[in-house]
Chains A and B, each alone.
Chain A
Amino acid sequence: MPSAFTIALIPLLPLLGFVLLGCFGRQVFRKYSGILATTLLFGATIIACFTAYRYFFHEGSGDAGYESLVPLKLTWLQFGEGLSIDMGIMLDPVAVMMLVVVTFVSLMVHIYSLSYMKGEERFPTYFAFLSLFTFSMLGLVISSNIFQLYIFWELVGLSSFLLIGYHYDRPSAVAASKKAFIVTRFADLGFLVGILVLSYFSNSLDFPTLIQRLTDPGSDELKAAVSSSFLGVSALTWGMLLVFMGGAGKSAMFPLHIWLPDAMEGPTPVSALIHAATMVVAGVFLVARLFPVYALSAGLALDVVAVVGAVSALLAAVIACAQTDIKRVLAYSTMSQIGFMMFALGVSGYGESGYTASQFHLFTHALFKALLFLGAGVVIHYVHSNEMRDMGGLRRQLPLTHVAFLIGCLAIAGIPPFAGFFSKEQILEAAHQNNRAIYWTALVTSGLTAFYMFRLYFSVFWNRPTHPGKTHGREGSVAMLLPLVILATAAATAGFIPFGEFVSSDGKPVDLHLQLSSAILPVMAALGGISLAAWFFLRENDRAARAAFAVKGLYRLARNKFYIDEIWLFLTRKIVFGLIGRPAAWFDKYVVDGLVNLTGNSTALLSEKIKTLQSGRLQQYALWFLAGAIGLVVLFIYVWK
């Protein structure tokens, strides 16, 4: 097993990149910034893969399956006995898997950005922010302490803010970055309260200790946490629900998903890295990290997770069917797939297959979603527009991208033998065993997924361009196409990894065999969706328009994202600002400030009165002199004997 220092290098190398590029990028490195960042990240990737190899095949496996190793633990802030914020590294199957995923996808995005962002004036700054993000995400996944995780959580949010608002001269980008930060910050409030509740009951902030104390049936902490209740729900469940609120915000679950479509204002490689493959799955990671507590001690919270995931998945799929911006379709598809991951966790019991299926889907989704986004980036770069109506018939002009994009779409639709089939299959299997309602919802969503993804594919690469705009000429440079090739290969083959051997909630291998009988239904749903999309969009026709007209109401709802943004705006403007903000401001201005002003004014008034004593009239002085002398005499004779 590599030493703690070597493992620590995985996040520290990108951090070094951030510091160097942040301080010296503009003056010293300039156009070599990208190379520097990519090289450092390549080093981190190698170390991550090596660590994974050693963990999964050598040191990680103990008698009872894979266990969590803590190679590093430094006490930082001691609050009391046992309660301290430590900085440490914890490796368990999910963490190691995430290390590999994050470094690998980040590397692909770095290489892609070398070409995509070439010619940008703030080229070094971009790579500095990208390195910062990678550092934060890597730190997040290897945190051994829940507060440390929170710190990196906020750092990830910050990096996302910086990268979404990268083109700060665009008001829409600025607004989007603010929206993302505010929504996730609001969710993080719940997260923080949840952390406080958990640490109060378990008297520890360390993951292994916290989980053990809150799941061991005999522990006093668990009894205390479960017995105290509020509104009929135990305190522990409240804590877990609040923690999930934080995860839901970061992972764009309903109703905190409003920031994700707007976040597409950022550059496309950023969308690929942050808002598809890595940051948005942080919520899933968090639930997975605390899964034993969810499964064994707070079942109600787990049910909420499942319902929220399923609702988000279905909602996002419906909305995606009516969007015309290529990146927005992909954003909603991300939300939908994360919904899949969430409800897979939600329906799973401790040690069951749902957990593994969820993590497997996280793994494969990262690969094919990054592929789809990078491919979309090539298309956008080529036609200089995000709208689907400006694209069409591009399969001849962008052959490599076409094949890669097709592989990505097939993967997300769940067509064998691509990666998405295997992971989605397992999820549906787990849902089928535990919650039939969610199973049918998931099935419908799968069909919709295939439909809207292939709607996108056919509109872009087949069909006829509605508004043929200017086109770039060349498909793209090697730097842009190489990651596509690598990711396409990965998306095609990753399904065959025996995930159940490595990742599961209790460390023991889970049997993920494929039952052909149950696999038929989803595949058929997917094929149905693809055919429908082809019927509508393969050739130029007006069938789609007529169909949309037929379901006018629903279409309009979907097109306007179910007006959820408007509802949030109403809530904040009318209710929070109007009923809470404005009275508070009035109180502050007239009562608090008024008191302070009163003090000032009364002092001034008093001084005006006292000023008249300096009248210059000697008689008055003499009068007060005598009065004072008499007063003193009385004092000395009668009062102070």
Chain B
Amino acid sequence: MTGATIIFYLLAVMTLVSAVLSVTTRRIFRAAIYLLFSLIGVAGIYFWLDYQFVGAVQIVVYVGGIVVLIIFSIFLTQAAGEKMPRQRTGRSLLAAIVSAAALGLILVEIGRHRFRIPEEQGAPVTVRTIGNQMLSTGEAGYALPFEVISILLLAAMIGCIVIAMRSPAGESEKRDMQAGPDTAEKL
């Protein structure tokens, strides 16, 4: 029973429990926080696996970006405080059964499969190696996907702006068209 083992189990428990709570709680803000903890747990696992760079990226992007974004959107849609409505019991039950069945099936299959695990462990991974490999165009180089990802991010940015911008613009147009006694108040 080494320390690594204990840490691993602690992190695993934290991840799973937070995930379960995140999907079952009825208050949406709490769900976001539980998600936060779950993602931190995953980041912890990455650190435990000696992949520090990925762990850092996980915390910066996921926890610090995405979860924050989710919390902002919760506030923007004014759904923070109330209890969310529950799903119909039948649907719930069916979803639980299907998920559990699928989980069981996959676990059994994974358990049965013999993975070829080689004996020697590779060199420790540093940021330098990651950086060199990512930007190299030679064998096992990931320069192309890197560029494609940047295009994707650009497209996503523009798309978000357009989607988010349209609705206020539409509303202001509607307001301009309805010239009436209450228009002055709204404006």
Q: Could you say which residues of chain A place their CB within 8 Å of the CB of B101?
A: 630
The chain B residue sitting closest to A627, CB to CB, is B98
Complex interface: chain B residues within 8 A of A626 (CB): 98-99, 102
Across the two chains, which residue of chain B brings its CB closest to A617? B91
Q: How large is the interface on B (under 10, 10 to 19, 20 to 34, 35 or more residues)?
A: under 10
- Taking beta carbons and an 8 Å cutoff, which residues of A are in contact with B? 620, 623, 626-627, 630, 633-634, 637
Tell me the complex Cα distance, A633–B98, Å: 13
CA of A596 to CA of B167 in the docked complex: distance in angstroms?
A: 56
- CB < 8 Å: which of B91, B98, B105 contacts A634? B105
Asked whether A630 lies within 8 Å of B105 as measured between CB atoms, the reply is yes
Q: Per-residue 0/1 for B96-135: is the Cβ within 8 Å of any A Cβ (1 yes, 0 no)?
A: 0011011001000100000000000000000000000000
Chain B residues with CB under 8 A of A634:
105
User: CA A532 – CA B45 in complex, angstroms?
Assistant: 135
- Complex Cα distance, B91 from A620, in Å, reads 9
Tell whether, in the assembled complex, residue B98 and residue A630 are in contact, meaning their CB atoms are under 8 Å apart: yes
Chain A to chain B contacts (Cβ below 8 Å), 16 pairs: A620-B91, A623-B91, A623-B94, A623-B95, A623-B98, A626-B98, A626-B99, A626-B102, A627-B98, A630-B98, A630-B101, A630-B102, A630-B105, A633-B105, A634-B105, A637-B109
Q: How far is the CA of A437 from the CA of B98 in the complex (A)?
A: 96
Q: A626-B98, A630-B102, A637-B109 are in contact. List 13 more A-B contacts (CB 8 A).
A: A620-B91, A623-B91, A623-B94, A623-B95, A623-B98, A626-B99, A626-B102, A627-B98, A630-B98, A630-B101, A630-B105, A633-B105, A634-B105
Residues of A within 8 A of B95 (CB): 623
Q: Which of A623, A630, A633 has the most C-beta atoms of chain B within 10 angstroms of its own C-beta? A: A630
List, in ascending order, chain B residues with CB within 8 A of A620's CB. 91
Min distance, Cβ B56 to any Cβ of chain A, angstroms: 33
**Chain B interface helix/strand/loop/mixed:** helix
Instruction: Give chain A residues whose Cβ lies under 8 Å from the Cβ of B102.
Output: 626, 630
Bound-complex Cα distance A270 to B109 (A): 96
Which residue of the partner chain B has the closest CB to A620? B91
Once the chains are docked, how many angstroms separate the CA of A623 from the CA of B88?
A: 14
B69 → chain A, closest Cβ, in Å? 22
Question: Considering only CB atoms, which chain A residue lies closest to B95 in the complex?
Answer: A623
Contacts of A627 in B (CB 8 A): 98
Tell me the bound Cα distance from A626 to B99 in angstroms: 8
Chain B residues, CB < 8 A from A633:
105
What's the least CB distance linking B103 to chain A, in Å?
A: 10
A273 to chain B, nearest CB (A): 83
Tell me the complex Cα distance, A637–B105, Å. Answer: 10
A623 to B101, alpha carbons, bound, how many Å? 12
Which residue of the partner chain A has the closest CB to B99? A626
Chain A positions within 8 Å of B94 at CB level:
623
Query: CB-nearest residue of chain A relative to B94?
Result: A623
A635 nearest CB across to chain B (Å): 11
Cβ of A623: which chain B residues have Cβ within 8 Å of it? Answer: 91, 94-95, 98
* Nearest chain B residue, comparing its CB with the CB of A634: B105
A634–B104 alpha-carbon span in the complex (Å): 11
Closest to B98 in A: A627
B98 — which chain A residues lie within 8 A by C-beta? 623, 626-627, 630
Distance between Cα atoms of A516 and B102 in the complex (Å)? 116
A620 to B88: give the CA distance in the assembly, Å. 12
Distance to closest chain A CB from B24 (angstroms): 16
Residue of chain B at shortest CB distance from A633: B105
A456→B94 CA distance, assembly (Å): 97
In the complex, residue of chain B having the shortest beta-carbon distance to the beta carbon of A624: B98
Per-position 1/0 for B69-111, Cβ under 8 A of A: 0000000000000000000000100110011011001000100
Question: What B residues does A637 contact at CB under 8 A?
Answer: 109
Who on chain A is nearest to B104 by CB? A630
* Closest A residue, CB atoms, query B97: A627
CB-CB nearest 3 A-B residue pairs? A627-B98, A630-B102, A626-B98
